[in-house]
């Protein structure tokens, strides 16, 4: 489910500009770009704004990233690296390892939800893809799934699908100016007033982030159990 590739070769340092006293580094560019996206969204990120915040001319950025798509690709890799770093050490029982990786993947991508739909671009067929798929294959084999490709596909779709739904819910709600917390509270009052059952209220909550958070791990465990019995 996770993938990253080696960092691009370091390009020549961009010269300081606009009063900056230190050379520009690729790591600083990515850190600042990610900060902009987390704060104001992906559409707010431009090479001109990024350069201004870093205190350099836009041309200085191109010594490190070829263009805006290359910058976005590097940010996606940065987030996947964070997933890998957080998931490091989650090695033990294969099922619990799969669960931990999926939970970590969801947590990290929802912290970067405005980039989440870019996380599912098809990967380049290279050594990194070969190595990552071999690792996943070994993990799912060790877990004892009778149909490894089926199990991997189901877990991948469940995890990344949950991320996409939550990310798109946030983006769509913001677009329409809807406050999810306020609307959930209003919905609860309405359902209580009309005598909704516990299941009926639960289905309501499942359509909000709160329900996602509560049900993700139990639902994933149920899915894994079903796949093991398949």
2: pLDDT confidence band, cut at 50, 70 and 90?
low
Instruction: Compute the distance between CA of residue 203 and CA of residue 145 in angstroms, rounded to an integer.
Output: 30
| Local structure of residue 173 (DSSP, 8 states) | H
Instruction: Compute the distance between CA of residue 131 and CA of residue 107 in angstroms, rounded to an integer.
Output: 24
List, in order of start, the domains of the chain with CATH numbers.
Answer: 26-229 (1.10.357.10)
pLDDT at 4: 55
Q: What are phi and psi of 101, to 5 degrees?
A: -65, -45
89: pLDDT confidence band, cut at 50, 70 and 90?
confident
Give the 3-state secondary structure of residue 107: helix
pLDDT at 123: 85
Could you tell me what percent of the chain has a pLDDT over 90?
Answer: 81
pLDDT(5) > 60: no
Q: What are 24's strand-pairing partners? A: 14
């Amino acid at each position: 489910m996770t993938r990253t590739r080696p960092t691009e070769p370091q390009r020549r340092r961009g010269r300081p500009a606009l009063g900056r006293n230190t050379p520009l580094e690729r790591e600083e560019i990515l850190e600042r770009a990610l900060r902009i996206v987390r704060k104001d969204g992906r559409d707010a990120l431009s090479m001109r704004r990024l350069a201004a915040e870093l205190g350099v001319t836009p041309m200085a950025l191109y010594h490190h990233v070829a263009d805006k798509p290359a910058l976005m690709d590097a940010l996606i890799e940065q987030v996947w690296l964070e997933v890998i770093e957080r998931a490091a050490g989650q090695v033990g029982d294969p099922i619990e390892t799969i669960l931990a990786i999926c939970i970590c993947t969801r947590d990290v991508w929802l912290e970067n939800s405005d980039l989440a739909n870019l996380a599912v671009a098809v990967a380049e067929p290279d050594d990194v893809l070969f190595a990552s798929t071999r690792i996943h294959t070994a993990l799912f084999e060790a877990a004892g799934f009778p149909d490894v490709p089926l199990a991997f596909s189901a877990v991948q779709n469940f995890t990344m699908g949950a991320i996409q739904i939550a990310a798109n819910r946030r983006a769509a709600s913001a677009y329409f100016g809807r406050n999810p917390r306020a609307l959930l509270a209003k919905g609860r009052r309405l359902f209580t007033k009309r005598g909704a059952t516990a299941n009926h209220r639960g289905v309501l909550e499942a359509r909000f982030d709160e329900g996602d958070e509560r049900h993700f791990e139990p639902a994933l465990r149920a899915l894994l159990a079903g796949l093991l019995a398949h």
